[in-house]
Homo-oligomer: A and B are copies of this chain.
């Protein structure tokens, strides 16, 4: 059993954050909320998504698992006003999700969860450095880097967090000291990441006040922020690239 109501914009943001990683996901539903763990087809980025029952206006659920094509949800929410309420109800026997938004009733066929890639195991990583910064700062650095290169270095040096991209002839670097960051735990950290992935991952952070980055030396980065006013959380784990030179 699953029956819930949630604000349309909140759901739209949450779905957009997930859609950065995969199109088809297994939602794990239980009485406490909804969660997803998914890896992108190339095994480079992982998304860990949690939306607690308190994010919903109404929430009633037993433990179950449903397979959803996120593109369909995105399409359907595209027509909703941001203050609309989205009502969802699972029709378990015939694998349908009934969605009602702004008077429109959708009947969405669910995917068989067994046809969707299994939930990945989340690796336990010791990431020595931690940086908390405004999402818009992160996004701006990524946008600047894109103009110049297809990968970007992120690291911590003494009390400074830096992002740097080098093209064939040009380079761009953003340094943020402790006073420009919300928080900083210094530690040895310097890794190179693909901007193809970072660009997508960083899109949902644009309206996020506090994004936490956990970094190591040639280690994956963990990009982590709250959604739904603290009732949920998204974490992205992005594998590093090996510098060719």
When the two chains form the complex, which single residue of B102, B143, B172 contacts A107, counting CB atoms closer than 8 Å?
B172
When the two chains form the complex, which single residue of B75, B137, B170 contacts A106, counting CB atoms closer than 8 Å?
B170
Given contacts A79-B140, A144-B76, A147-B75, contact A170 B104 (CB under 8 A): no
Complex alpha-carbon distance, A180 and B102, angstroms: 12
Interface residues of A (CB under 8 A from B): 72, 75-76, 78-79, 102-109, 137, 140-141, 143-144, 147-148, 169-176, 180
* Shortest distance between the CB of A66 and any CB in chain B (Å): 14
Give the oligomeric copy count.
Answer: 3
Complex alpha-carbon distance, A107 and B167, angstroms: 10
Residues of B within 8 A of A104 (CB): 140-141, 144, 172-174
Given contacts A107-B171, A109-B170, A170-B109, contact A102 B140 (CB under 8 A): yes
The 4 A-B residue pairs with the shortest CB-CB distance in the complex, in nearest-first order: A109-B169, A75-B147, A107-B171, A105-B173
